[in-house]
Amino acid sequence: MSCRRKFLKRAGYTTVSALLATGFLQKYKQKEDYSTNADRENYASANVTSSLRQLAAAKGKRYGAAISSDFLLKEKDYANLIARECSIVTPNGELKWNATEPQPGQFTFESADAIADFCQKHNIDMHGHTLFWHMGKPDWLPYPPTLKMIEQHVKGVMGHYRNSKVLKSWDIANEIIADNEKETDNATYGLRKGLKPELIRDLFLIAASVDNSKKFYLNDFGIEGATWKSEHFLKMVEYLKNSGVKIDGAGIQSHLWFSTAYSFDEKGFNSVLERLNDLEVKPIITELDIIIDAPLPDSIEKLDQMVADSYKRYLDLCFAAKVDTVITWGLTDRHTWIRHPDWMPGKTFRDNPNLWKFLRPLPFDENFQPKPAHNAIAQAFEQAS
Ligand code: 9MR
């Protein structure tokens, strides 16, 4: 077995290589029309002296990133940067089922607690990700798990953080909507094969019975526009609301692709945000990062400017719809999942190692220096009402 396959197997990613092979990541890409961006902002030359967490706080908002306990322990400058910039963090993997309940009924919280302690020390909120997912799960666990397994897991994990002052919200369920109509056996809600809406309802009910003091989210990707997926996601949110289940918010992951070659669905995304607000389900941005798709510019400077423009455009839309929490999936390009060989995105990049340097999706670069994307995020917070 190749190293890559071994890794995929160990991590439980039976479908990842297949998904990459079919280019599924392409399906939720978004366009930026750089040519008409007449008032291009001067992010590159902007002199941002405040941290993103300060700029966000000035508008009653939160900014944060997904972080890893490993890096926190090993890289002091990384820990300092997170403490300075973030008012909320999401553990990258430390709260997933494979990390917290590696054997049935045996719980371990060492690495997640390391993040919770860090949050406590630096006055940072922690977003609990996630109690239920088809990946990041131990080999013994079927998908979907039985209700009994869910009950044991939710009691074990949520119970551990019941009295936590920093853990304020949970992604109760992650990525339950299928990628398209061919991959569901549930026409109404478009759930992943084998999933029933009642199971998700019961998961939320169990969660509320363990600890209803936290905010409960349903989290997903590919819902940043009027897509088959966003339509079904909204239906599922509505179903949960109508079932009388506690659901406070919707996590809009926002792993985005922008390009001059295809359209950004501004109208569709606005309507998703509006419909969530109408349902009184608060939209937050949970996993934002931005890839620029082909045609690629001829320099990294231009690429960074395009990433920055895309951040600004996206966040302006979010803030106009009163979104108050933005979490990027990582803080620096040194740690982004997108550069990991097992996640290397679709056709443009996967087979072209000379293009990997164009994967610069986050606000800080590999050397922890702020990029134009950082200044664009700063400016979006400054201009938010
Ligand atoms: O970035 C995460 C990567 O390091 C992990 O190996 C992987 C499996 O646990 O999960 C990645 O995070 C995913 C998140 O949990 C859910 N949305 C997509 C994220 C990127 O794949």
What pLDDT score was predicted for residue 97? Answer: 99
CA distance 368 to 71: 13
Higher pLDDT, 372 or 22: 372
Sequence-distant (≥ 6) Cβ neighbours of residue 382 within 8 angstroms: 55, 58
Assigned token pair, 145: 């798990």
Residue 43: alpha-carbon gap to chain centroid: 24
Is residue 118 within a helix (H) or strand (E), and if so which, with residue range? helix 110-122
What pLDDT score was predicted for residue 349? Answer: 87
Based on its alpha-carbon atoms, the radius of gyration of the chain, rounded to whole angstroms, reads 20
Minimal-distance CA residue to ligand 1 atom 1: 337
CA distance 184 to 171: 22
Backbone φ and ψ of 94, nearest 5°: -70, -20
Q: 40-49, 89-98, 315-324, 351-360: which has the minimum mean pLDDT?
A: 40-49
What pLDDT score was predicted for residue 353? Answer: 85
pLDDT digits (tens, 9 = 90+) for 141-159: 999 999 999 999 999 999 9
Cα–Cα distances in angstroms (integers) from residue 78 to residues 28, 54, 331, 364, 365, in the given order: 30, 18, 9, 11, 12
Atom of ligand 1 nearest to the CA of 13: 8
Domain with 130, as residue range(s), is 3-383
Q: What is the CA(244)–ligand 1 centre distance, in A?
A: 30
What pLDDT score was predicted for residue 2? Answer: 37
For the chain, how many structural domains are there in total?
Answer: 1
The pLDDT mean for the chain works out to 90
pLDDT digits (tens, 9 = 90+) for 253-296: 999 999 999 888 999 999 999 999 999 999 999 999 999 999 99
Atom of ligand 1 nearest to the CA of 66: 1
Say if residue 49's pLDDT is above 90: no
Is residue 366 within a helix (H) or strand (E), and if so which, with residue range? none
Dihedral of alpha carbons 303, 305, 306, 310, sign: positive
Atom of ligand 1 nearest to the CA of 98: 9
Which of 202, 184, 203, 180 lies closest to 193 in space, CA to CA?
A: 184
What pLDDT score was predicted for residue 46? Answer: 64
Assigned token pair, 125: 């909120």
| Cis, peptide link before residue 295, omega less than 30° from 0 | yes
CA distance 251 to 80: 27
Say if residue 169's pLDDT is above 90: yes
Contact 179, 134 (CB under 8 A): no
Residues touching ligand 1 (Cβ under 6 Å) are 11, 92-93, 96, 135-136, 174, 253, 287, 337
Assigned token pair, 15: 């479908």
- pLDDT band at residue 40 using 50, 70 and 90 as cut-offs: low
Atom of ligand 1 nearest to the CA of 343: 21
The predicted model gives 88-115 an average pLDDT of 98
pLDDT digits (tens, 9 = 90+) for 347-368: 778 888 889 999 999 999 999 9
| Cis, peptide link before residue 353, omega less than 30° from 0 | no
Atom of ligand 1 nearest to the CA of 330: 1
CA distance 124 to 85: 10
Please report, in angstroms and rounded to a whole number, the separation of the first and last CA atoms in the chain: 54
Minimal-distance CA residue to ligand 1 atom 13: 92
What pLDDT score was predicted for residue 378? Answer: 98
Query: In the Cβ-directed half-sphere of 361, how many Cα atoms lie within 13 Å?
Result: 26
Q: How wide is the angle at C-alpha 225 spanned by C-alphas 190 and 347, nearest 5°?
A: 85
Q: What is the CA(71)–ligand 1 centre distance, in A?
A: 16
- pLDDT band at residue 373 using 50, 70 and 90 as cut-offs: very high
What global pTM score does this model have?
0.91
Minimal-distance CA residue to ligand 1 atom 9: 136
Place of tokens 């690429």: 303
Q: 163-177, 302-316, 345-359: which has the minimum mean pLDDT?
A: 345-359
CATH number of the domain that residue 109 is part of = 3.20.20.80
Q: What is the CA(93)–ligand 1 centre distance, in A?
A: 7
